[in-house]
């Protein structure tokens, strides 16, 4: 069973069948090099030879292997013949053109490919060098020791391969060109393949529809047209120029291999570099207007693939035209190793290609979050007033929640009813321009991260600390406003109902259950932290919905679609278009949060997961309602005070978890370094020790 697990384990870097044992004799193994052996056996010979070189100190190991090969002419001849057969019988161009790139320009396809590579073992029985490359260089440290190889060793390795390429090949015009090109032949073929792929991406619908906007967004109409035409011409000419270069290089090497490159050929090479630069700039320019046109992960993935292929073509061109190719080939090999190591990682794929989407979502949240940050006393007072309004609305939400529970519905329908109650309440708070404190952090964190464009200066760090102080003061105002209104309103309504109708709105069983559920002695704090996750998730959904709204141009469709215009009228369609564009994010956040608070506990209970929600404002309303039902005698009951003690901690976890998650996404999407993050938090700690009150109330000079 142990042997079977080793056989199937693709996660081990050194598979058991290829690892040289202690009795492995390298000289005898080198003498077994056989150019006539089956393809898979030749590949295993190369794999095991590299593994032996890596077994100790890799650089010394490679030098030792080269020395042993050069020690005997017969051994060298066998190795040279095997390397020549290896070069001819494997598709080298596939490695140069395809390695590190996805065969399909779709994010999910690449994700599936990476998962497949991690879970399924690869076979050395292949002619595709891009597949074999992962078996030859399977150690993550290969790039490091290869970078340390000295020039003499590199030249000896190059001489072995060059001698192997001198063996006769097939006849015909294409074979004559290949013989003239020598080792450059697959390099030129790879440039042709890459140029075709760049052209295909450049002429795809997603690129064509956006290219003119991105290239000419800051210019007048003629400039837009010229920039668009220039980019399209670059994509159109790319393949022709590469093909012409290949023919010219082959003709030059056939007639006068030792002469320097002719000026005309170098001029064409420079023109190719200019075309590649134009294509890459056209792709890079799409990033600049994605904030107004929307963004998709697939589009970001295609942009990165195109730019990477342009860089690969230029790298191959440098190697082909280099007077001394060894350094260029060495650099190319190291680049391929680094690309291969990155492509093994599923996490790297997500971090690389979702960062733009995360930044777009964060920036949209940042725009909303600015409204929740107070910077002076007047704004602080306004925030407190709006929070009081939100507390009054959520007082009604508290009573409606108990009413839904009193109906005795099935668990799912009860959760749906509670979610609908929350969603309607949150939307009402939005439309009345009130605020709910716990919804602020997920919006304000990206607004703070927007200040992190440059945090290397002391002034920028202090500005960020000021934003932290502004945020925490805003949270204090919001939470105080919510709680100081929701508790008295709920308690007052309860007392009025008892006085005039001799019966509270909340019955005794419900009140007792509420106190039992909200106590600090239970899992309330765990549930409060999970509620913070839901608060963060609602902000992500809001940013995603707003991005999708822009990406699919739904505002334009609402305004100009003939059927919608006929149904609503031109003026109303225009107003609806603007209204939805301005409110789609807020509506999504409020509705999604409401239904998550109502339905997630029901679904979790069905799945047997220990998850529930504890929202500080709603919990405060429930505690106040329970006090009104059970009477003032509860003030002497420890169970009541355990519930009261849980409320500030519930609020802290609601706010802290949602803020931390939102700030983490925003900071990562902006590429802030770990050292800079640590510097920022140290600065926040110093301010907290020196001026703790600045995090609670605004200074007198601020308003």
pLDDT in tens, 225-271: 455 677 788 888 998 999 999 999 888 888 776 788 899 999 999 99
Q: What percent of the chain has pLDDT over 70?
A: 80
pLDDT in tens, 297-334: 677 778 888 999 999 999 999 999 988 888 888 889 99
pLDDT band at residue 6 under the 50/70/90 scheme: very low
Question: What fold characterizes domain 359-693?
Answer: Glycerol uptake facilitator protein (1.20.1080)
pLDDT in tens, 373-392: 777 888 888 889 999 999 99
pLDDT at 9 over 50: no
CA distance linking residue 653 with residue 655, whole number of Å:
5
- Tracing tokens 């070069």 back to the chain, one arrives at 87
Q: Of residues 618 and 465, which shows the higher confidence score?
A: 618
CA distance linking residue 535 with residue 614, whole number of Å:
11
Q: Name which of 670, 675, 617, 674 is nearest 647 in CA terms.
A: 617
Q: How far separated are the first and last CA of the chain, in Å rounded? A: 74
Instruction: Say if 179-321 and 359-693 have the same CATH topology.
Output: no
pLDDT at 395 over 90: yes
Over residues 343-357, the mean pLDDT reads: 61
pLDDT at 37 over 70: yes
pLDDT at 160 over 50: yes
pLDDT at 13 over 70: no
Q: Which CATH number is correct for 179-321, 2.60.120, 1.25.10, 1.20.120, 3.30.1050? A: 1.20.120
Q: What is the pTM of this model?
A: 0.67
SS3 (DSSP) at 35:
coil
Over residues 623-640, the mean pLDDT reads: 93
Phi then psi dihedrals of residue 671, to 5 deg: 70, 30
CA distance linking residue 316 with residue 676, whole number of Å:
37
Q: Name which of 488, 431, 432 is nearest 624 in CA terms.
A: 488
Residues 6+ apart with CB under 8 A from 262: 248, 252
Per-domain residue ranges of the chain: 1-167, 179-321, 359-693
CB atoms within 10 A of CB 40: 12
């Amino acid at each position: 069973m142990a042997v079977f697990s080793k056989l199937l384990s693709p996660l081990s870097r050194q598979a058991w069948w290829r690892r040289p044992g202690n009795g492995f004799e390298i000289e005898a193994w080198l003498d077994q090099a056989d150019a006539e052996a089956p393809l898979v056996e030749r590949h295993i010979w190369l794999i095991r030879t590299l593994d032996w070189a890596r077994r100790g100190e890799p650089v010394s190991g490679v030098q030792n292997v080269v020395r042993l090969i050069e020690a005997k002419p017969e051994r060298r001849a066998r190795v040279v013949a095997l390397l020549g057969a290896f070069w001819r019988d494997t598709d080298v161009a596939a490695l140069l053109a395809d390695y590190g790139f996805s065969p399909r320009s779709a994010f999910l396809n690449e994700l599936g490919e990476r998962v497949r590579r991690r879970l399924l073992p690869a076979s050395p029985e292949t002619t595709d060098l891009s597949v074999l490359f992962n078996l030859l260089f399977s150690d993550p440290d290969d790039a490091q020791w290869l970078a340390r190889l000295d020039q003499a060793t590199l030249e000896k390795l190059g001489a072995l391969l060059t001698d192997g390429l001198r063996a006769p090949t097939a006849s015909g015009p294409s074979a004559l060109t290949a013989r003239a090109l020598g080792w450059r032949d697959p390099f030129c073929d790879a440039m042709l393949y890459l140029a075709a792929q760049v052209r295909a991406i450049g002429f795809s619908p997603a690129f064509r529809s956006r290219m003119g906007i991105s290239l000419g967004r800051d210019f007048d109409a003629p400039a837009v047209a010229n920039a668009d035409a220039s980019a399209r011409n670059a994509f159109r000419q790319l393949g022709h120029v590469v093909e012409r270069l290949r023919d010219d290089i082959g003709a030059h090497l056939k007639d006068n291999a030792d002469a320097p490159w002719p000026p005309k050929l170098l001029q064409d090479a420079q023109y190719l570099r200019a075309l590649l630069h134009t294509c890459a700039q056209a792709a890079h320019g799409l990033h600049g207007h994605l904030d107004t046109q929307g963004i998709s992960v697939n589009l970001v993935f295609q942009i990165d693939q195109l730019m990477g292929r342009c860089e690969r073509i230029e790298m191959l061109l440098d190697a082909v035209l280099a007077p001394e190719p060894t350094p260029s080939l060495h650099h190319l090999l190291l680049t391929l190793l680094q690309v291969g190591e990155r492509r093994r990682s599923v996490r790297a794929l997500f971090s690389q290609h979702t960062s733009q989407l995360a930044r777009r979502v964060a920036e949209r949240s940042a725009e909303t979050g600015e409204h929740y940050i107070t910077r002076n006393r007047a704004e602080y007072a306004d925030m407190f007033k709006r929070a009081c309004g939100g507390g009054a609305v959520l007082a009604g939400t508290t009573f409606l929640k108990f009413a839904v529970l009193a109906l005795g519905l099935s668990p799912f329908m009860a959760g749906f009813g509670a979610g609908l109650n929350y969603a309607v309440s949150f939307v009402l708070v939005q439309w009345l321009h009130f605020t709910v404190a716990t919804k602020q952090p997920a919006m304000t964190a990206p607004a703070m991260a927007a200040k992190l464009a440059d945090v290397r200066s002391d002034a920028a760090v202090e500005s960020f600390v000021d934003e932290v102080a502004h945020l925490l003061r805003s949270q204090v105002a919001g939470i105080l406003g919510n709680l100081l209104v929701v508790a008295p309103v709920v308690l007052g309504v309860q007392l009025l109902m008892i006085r005039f109708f001799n019966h509270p709105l909340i019955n005794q069983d419900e009140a007792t259950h509420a106190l039992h559920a909200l106590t600090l002695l239970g899992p309330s704090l765990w549930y409060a932290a999970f509620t913070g996750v839901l608060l963060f998730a609602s902000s992500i959904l809001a940013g995603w919905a707003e991005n999708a709204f822009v990406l699919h141009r739904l505002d334009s469709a609402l305004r100009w679609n003939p059927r919608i215009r006929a149904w609503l009228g031109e003026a109303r369609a225009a107003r609806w278009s603007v209204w939805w564009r301005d409110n789609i994010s807020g509506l999504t956040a409020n509705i999604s949060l409401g239904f998550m608070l109502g339905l997630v506990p029901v679904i979790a209970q069905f799945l047997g997961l220990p998850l529930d929600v504890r929202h500080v404002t709603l919990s405060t309303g429930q505690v106040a309602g329970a006090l009104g039902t059970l009477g003032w005698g509860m003030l002497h009951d420890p169970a009541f005070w355990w519930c009261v003690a849980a409320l500030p901690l519930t609020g802290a976890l609601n706010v802290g978890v949602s803020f931390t998650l939102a700030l983490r996404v925003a900071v990562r999407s902006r590429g802030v370094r770990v050292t800079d993050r640590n510097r920022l938090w140290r600065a926040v700690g110093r301010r907290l020790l020196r001026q703790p009150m600045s995090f609670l109330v605004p200074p007198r000079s601020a308003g």
